[in-house]
Chain A
Amino acid sequence: MNEHLPTLSSAPVAARDTRTSTAAHQDFTGLMRSEWLKVASLTSMRWLALAAVGAGALGAVAFASSAEASTTTAVLGSATLSALVIGLLTALGTTSEYATGSIRTTLAVAPRRGLALLAKAAVSALLGVVLSVLGSVAGLAATSAMHPDGWIEAGTVVRAVVAAAIYVAVVAVFCLLLGTVLRGVALTTASVIALVLLLPGMTGGVRVGDVFLSDYLLSEAGPGLVLQTSFGTDAWVQVATVSVWMALASAAAAARLGYSDA
């Protein structure tokens, strides 16, 4: 036989090494690990994660420079920009799976699609929280240089940073769901930018009755929560608004993923 041919030994070539391997099975932890590896193993995703932290820091510094600035508005600035970049990250993550066809590989090895989507959402939310906190903290650290008299008040800052982290996590999951529904890279990217950045400004002056339309946007109600100092009616309206947006997106994504052929 030709020497160059890969020869098969008499040992079962395809079998796992049973001395070292544990029985394979599918669980949520494994699916989350896979989704995390997907993000961590792509250069583009690593850059976007870095950019999210950078944008968060930059947003804080930009909002802190105005006259009536407070740590809360600085964190709001951080949340707005890092939400945009993280939204792009999760949207690109999922739409690139459709663009490259690798979604078929994903769904072939993780055939319970609801669970697969939940794992994606969990990793997106975790990324949102971690990157948002990193961006806010970096931004606040930078702004303390602008306010040498020490403007950081621990209680306020922690509350704002936590609210911002939750908002960014929500946007991360929302954009993932949007990408799952729309599937196209360009369409989804444009939608994310419009939703997070443009729509609040465009609808800012539109009134329906005695309420502003923009109050019921995800990207207005969410950041609004960052500014709340007490949990009153306004805060509940904002929580309800965010919940409705998320519920709609989840239902649409679950239906799109669950009922269509991959």
Chain B
Amino acid sequence: MIEATRLSKRHGAKTVVDGVSFSVRPGTVTGFLGPNGAGKSTTMRMIVGLDRPTSGTVTVNGRRYVDSPAPMAEVGVLLDAGAVHPGRRARDHLRVVASTNGIGDRRVDEVLSLAGLESVARKKVGTFSLGMKQRLGIATALLGDPGTVVLDEPVNGLDPEGVIWVRQLCRQLAAEGRAVLLSSHLMGEMAQTADRLVVLGRGRVIADTPTAELLARAGGGGAVRVRTDRPEDLSALVAPLGATLVPVSADTVEVAGLTAEQIAQAAGPAGVLLYELAPVQVSLEAAFFHLTGDSVEYRADAITDTDSSKATR
């Protein structure tokens, strides 16, 4: 259980995290979403005491992480898969980390096999691909059998198989009653993994809702996509009931303001055949951009003609 209360971090004049409050509950996967520079990583670093909050507090199971007698059993953390010494063998890296918390070699071998790294356990970390480093980082996070797991961009650099593995692992960790906080830029992946989303923009929480609710909220008011060979007749039938229709293609319209049942009940007696009747699913990408539209920190401006003409002059 992570609880952040009005957490802020300033670097000089720049406010990186600005009064962020949220909680990560046991048994759930909480997704951390936000554009680059939104403050996700800084917030995660403050959870485990790597960065000192300028103001506010963040606790794990009611106390500061730093005060835990067994830090690795409290929080398992992966912040930067590259934060390993390249000259050390994978198994030795895990032993170095494990021994700080009195964790034995047997557990080291357990997490190596859990992450699928047995065959490279005696290879130097410097020879690892980013994906393998991510697996090693996840193995490191799990060493202490932690009640809370914090993973910053764990699928970055992983192959599709690895992405699915991380998704299943996160679901399983939550099913075992652990609290999981996960950040990712792969929003499709996040939609399938996270129960709850905390969206950050410019250091502030701009949404903190169940994933399904965020999708529904940005989903254009629950429109229904309808395919029929007589769209004009359908329009004449449902428009008087308060529906608005947006044609998508020759035989497809999106109907807003009515449920799928209401549309079918209107069309059926008139003999208008409906070949498809489906709620419009908005992707998490769309929901995300809808929310963060004006809180993007780094934006590449479209290059216009005036820019290029200036450049040539």
> B128: CB under 8 A from chain A?
no
Complex Cα–Cα for A14 and B272 (A): 55
> B260: CB under 8 A from chain A?
no
Mask for A217-230, Cβ within 8 A of B = 1, else 0? Answer: 00000000000000
Contact assessment for B66 and A105 in the assembled complex, using a CB-CB cutoff below 8 Å: no
Contact assessment for A104 and B80 in the assembled complex, using a CB-CB cutoff below 8 Å: yes
Known: A25-B70, A102-B83. A108 touches B48 (CB 8 A): yes
> B45: CB under 8 A from chain A?
yes
Instruction: Name the distance in Å between B100's Cβ and chain A's nearest Cβ.
Output: 4
Q: Which residues of A contact B80 (CB under 8 A)?
A: 101, 104
Q: Which residues of B contact A6 (CB under 8 A)?
A: 116, 161, 165
Please provide the chain B residues from 122 to 177 with a CB less than 8 Å away from any CB of chain A in the complex: 140, 142, 144-145, 161, 164-165, 168-169, 172-173, 176
Complex Cα–Cα for A61 and B32 (A): 63
Contact assessment for A42 and B101 in the assembled complex, using a CB-CB cutoff below 8 Å: no
> A112: CB under 8 A from chain B?
yes
Contact assessment for B83 and A105 in the assembled complex, using a CB-CB cutoff below 8 Å: yes
Please provide the chain B residues from 12 to 64 with a CB less than 8 Å away from any CB of chain A in the complex: 45, 48-52
Instruction: Name the distance in Å between A10's Cβ and chain B's nearest Cβ.
Output: 9
Q: Which residues of A contact B72 (CB under 8 A)?
A: 24, 26, 109
> B106: CB under 8 A from chain A?
yes
Give the nearest-CB partner of A1 in chain B. Answer: B164
Complex Cα–Cα for A31 and B70 (A): 12
Contact assessment for B83 and A13 in the assembled complex, using a CB-CB cutoff below 8 Å: no
Contact of A33 among B48, B83, B99 (CB under 8 A): B99
Complex Cα–Cα for A107 and B71 (A): 11
Contact assessment for A262 and B50 in the assembled complex, using a CB-CB cutoff below 8 Å: yes
> A243: CB under 8 A from chain B?
no
> B89: CB under 8 A from chain A?
yes
Count A-side interface residues using an 8 Å CB cutoff. 48
Complex Cα–Cα for A13 and B69 (A): 24
Binds B, one of A15-23, A70-78, A79-87, A191-199: A15-23
Contact assessment for B95 and A37 in the assembled complex, using a CB-CB cutoff below 8 Å: yes
Contact assessment for B83 and A24 in the assembled complex, using a CB-CB cutoff below 8 Å: no
Known: A15-B176, A26-B70, A100-B84. A111 touches B169 (CB 8 A): no
Contact assessment for B96 and A34 in the assembled complex, using a CB-CB cutoff below 8 Å: yes
Contact assessment for A14 and B85 in the assembled complex, using a CB-CB cutoff below 8 Å: no
Complex Cα–Cα for A63 and B51 (A): 50
Chain B residues packing against A (C-beta within 8 Å): 45, 48-52, 65-66, 68-73, 77, 79-80, 82-89, 92-93, 95-97, 99-104, 106-107, 110, 114, 116, 140, 142, 144-145, 161, 164-165, 168-169, 172-173, 176, 178
Q: List 27 A-B contacts (CB under 8 A).
A: A2-B161, A14-B169, A14-B178, A15-B176, A16-B107, A24-B73, A24-B101, A24-B102, A25-B102, A26-B69, A31-B100, A34-B96, A37-B95, A38-B85, A38-B96, A41-B89, A42-B88, A97-B85, A101-B84, A102-B84, A104-B50, A104-B79, A107-B49, A111-B65, A111-B66, A112-B66, A259-B52
